[in-house]
């Protein structure tokens, strides 16, 4: 059994019977009274960011969470199918479970966080950047903007639509930042 003195950013613990990951904590000593610990953490089952204040030394239940490598195989009408990259075990996840799923292409490597005590999959995370081909974008017309930061819409090989700079053409491979779905850079080769 651990206490609030064991808090470190990134640890996993139970809050209201839900596994959570600590994002931020701060020990506060008010002018009067006992020390408190203010926390922000992510509920891994709901995805919500929560705040809670603990008393100093209050007991918490740590949770064993493992990151496991998977590969995206194919979509079907009810969701997505993945294969563990080492054991070749296959799992199926519902469509609404995978964030930014329209940026995944077949063969894409992902990481899943698994609650080790009961083998429950908590999250499915794409890498920070993915490389995708632009299948359609309007050609840029010289002189149609005075700004150097002008953007246009592009459709990617997975069907996702993002905004890209005017110089990007059909057939080019680009890097997309998954977190905010923005253009990263051209991929050479």
Q: Read off the pLDDT of residues 1-36 as tens digits, 9 standing for 90 and up.
A: 799 989 999 899 999 999 999 999 999 988 888 899
148-174 residue pLDDT tens: 678 899 999 999 999 999 889 999 999
Average pLDDT rounded to a whole number, residues 73-102: 93
State the pLDDT confidence band at 89, using cuts at 50, 70 and 90.
very high
Q: Domain 2-60 has what CATH class?
A: mainly beta
Superfamily of domain 65-125: Nucleic acid-binding proteins (2.40.50.140)
DSSP helix/strand/coil, 103: helix
Structural domain boundaries of the chain? 2-60, 65-125, 129-186
Overall pTM surpassing 0.75 (yes/no): yes
DSSP helix/strand/coil, 95: helix
133 pLDDT above the threshold of 60: yes
* Topology at the third CATH level for domain 129-186: OB fold (Dihydrolipoamide Acetyltransferase, E2P) (2.40.50)
122 pLDDT above the threshold of 90: no
Given this chain, do its domains 2-60 and 65-125 carry the same CATH topology?
Answer: no
Q: What would the two tokens of residue 166 be? A: 């005017």
CA 95 – CA 79 distance, rounded (Å): 4
Q: What is the mean pLDDT of the chain?
A: 91
Answer yes or no: are the C-beta atoms of 73 and 51 closer than 8 Å.
Answer: no
Residue 144: what pLDDT? 61
DSSP helix/strand/coil, 136: strand
């Amino acid at each position: 059994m651990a206490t609030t003195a064991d808090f470190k950013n990134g640890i996993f613990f139970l809050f209201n019977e839900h596994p959570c990951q600590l994002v931020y904590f701060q020990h506060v000593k008010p002018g009067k009274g006992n020390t408190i610990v203010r926390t922000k953490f992510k509920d891994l089952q709901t995805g919500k960011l929560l705040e809670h204040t603990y008393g100093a030394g209050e007991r918490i239940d740590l949770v064993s969470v493992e990151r496991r490598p998977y590969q995206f195989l194919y979509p079907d009408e009810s969701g997505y199918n993945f294969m563990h990259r080492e054991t070749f075990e296959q799992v199926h996840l519902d469509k609404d479970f995978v964030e930014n799923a329209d940026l995944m292409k077949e063969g894409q490597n992902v990481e899943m966080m698994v609650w080790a005590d009961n083998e429950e999959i908590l999250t499915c995370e794409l890498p920070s950047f993915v490389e995708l081909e632009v299948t359609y974008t309007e050609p840029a017309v010289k002189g149609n903007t005075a700004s150097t930061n002008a953007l246009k819409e592009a459709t990617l090989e997975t069907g996702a639509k993002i905004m890209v700079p005017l110089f990007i053409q059909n057939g080019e491979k680009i890097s997309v930042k998954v977190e905010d779905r923005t253009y990263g850079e051209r991929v050479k080769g």
